[in-house]
Amino acid sequence: MEGKAVFSIGELARRTGLPVKTIRFYSDEGLLPPTARTPSGYRLYDTTALARLEFVRTLRELGIGLSDVDSALTGTATVPALAQRHVEALDEQIRRLRLRRSVLRAVAKRKSGPDEVKLMNKLASMSDEERSRLIDEFWDEVSTGIDVDAALIDWMRSAKPTLPDDPAPEQLEAWIELAELVRDKEFRALVRNMSQANAERRAAGEDMGPPDASQQEQWAAWREHAQSELDRGTSPDSPEGKVLAGRIASALARDGQNPDDPAYRAELAEQFATFSDPRAERYWQLLAVINGWPPVPTQHPAAQWMIGALRATAG
């Protein structure tokens, strides 16, 4: 080593700012083998070792584990390959940290107790695949064994909750509420009853598939009419209610049905009531919040007004 600059561990520590204990640990682990030793057995390192130590330090500061640092030094793995692997691991860690932050924000906002905190953390930690599976299981239970329109069920199933990597507190709260809703036995029974009603009307010859554009436009016009009367404080049993009830009955009457028949109007009112539960509407409102869709305004009050108008004209 004559004529070549060498450094003791203490000198390396002064040059790099690393603790002597850390440098000795790296050397003991084989990441920084000594260049030579003094007659007394003290380890010495040359400028190449100094550069190697700086490289080890950089990798460690980036969070690279000791085994991967050794792979980079020995050439059994390239630094870009290691970097890519650690980027992916960091992305997952960041995703989980963001979810934890959102859970804590929601806990603080809702003033949650221990049991709710535990449930919220479990639900928030679900992957997109697990969330999708929960929704699929829900639709399986509420439709299996019932001859409901297949296109309608496929349409319902296609809407899946997908939380962003950094969900807003309201998105996380919406997912937790949706998960609680689809796990609720009463809600499952309600939607299964809706499926049964769909199957019965389908068997009677009605088209019970997903609404087309014209049907959606028609329903929107009825709801707008009902909402405007509701806003004015008009009663469903008013002349205005009778007018709207007549339009609805005439539009939905099938062959052989008399739109003016009180029994038919009473039947329509019950059909509307079956499909206008506010919890079913809440399902879609929560999905909109979770997925960042346009808000779904409540239609329940207008639907109740229409039901009242139909019942009022049913005698």
Note whether residue 244 is domain-resident: yes
Residue 114, class by beta-carbon neighbours within 10 Å (0-12 exposed, 13-18 middle, 19+ buried)?
exposed
Mean pLDDT across the chain: 90
Residue 103: pLDDT over 80: no
Please give the sequence-ordered ranges of beta strands (E in DSSP) within the chain, or none if there are none. Answer: 6-7, 36-37, 43-46
What is the distance of C-alpha 289 from the center of its chain? 9
Give pLDDT tens digits for 280-304. Answer: 999 999 999 999 999 999 999 999 9
Name the residue type at position 22. T
Domain closes at, from 158, 191, 224: 191
> Could you give the angle at the alpha carbon of 159 between the alpha carbons of 157 and 162, nearest 5°?
125
CA distances to 233, 238, 313 from 227, rounded to whole Å, are 10, 14, 19
- Residue 287 in any domain: the answer is yes
Count of domains observed in the chain: 3
pLDDT of 165 above 80: no
pLDDT band at 109 (very low <50, low <70, confident <90, very high): confident
Query: What is the pLDDT averaged over residues 72-94?
Result: 87
Kind of pairing, strands 36-37 and 43-46?
antiparallel
Instruction: Render pLDDT for 184-220 as a digit per residue (tens, 0 to 9).
Output: 999 999 999 999 999 998 998 888 888 889 999 999 9
| pLDDT value for 58 | 92
Of 113-127, 238-252, 265-279, least confident by mean pLDDT is 113-127
The residue written with tokens 């400028």 in the block is 47
For the chain, give percent helix, strand, coil, nearest 5: 70, 5, 30
* 174: pLDDT strictly greater than 60: yes
Q: pLDDT for 270-285, tens place per residue?
A: 999 988 999 999 999 9
Query: Of 191, 221, 242, which residue is a domain's last?
Result: 191
Same domain for 107 and 140?
A: yes
Q: Is residue 59 part of a domain?
A: yes
Q: Is 289 within a domain?
A: yes
Q: DSSP state, 168?
A: -
Cα–Cα distances in angstroms (integers) from residue 99 to residues 37, 81, 119, 166, 177, in the given order: 52, 28, 14, 7, 16
Of 27, 45, 77, the one marking the end of a domain is: 77
**136 in a structural domain:** yes
Residue 44 is part of which domain span?
6-77
The answer to whether residues 98 and 66 belong to one domain is no
Query: Does residue 44 belong to any structural domain of this protein?
Result: yes
CATH number at residue 57: 1.10.1660.10
Amino acid symbol at 16: T
* CB 18, CB 53: distance < 8 Å: yes
Q: Give a yes or no: residue 182 inside a domain.
A: yes
How far is Cα 224 from Cα 216, in angstroms, rounded to an integer?
12
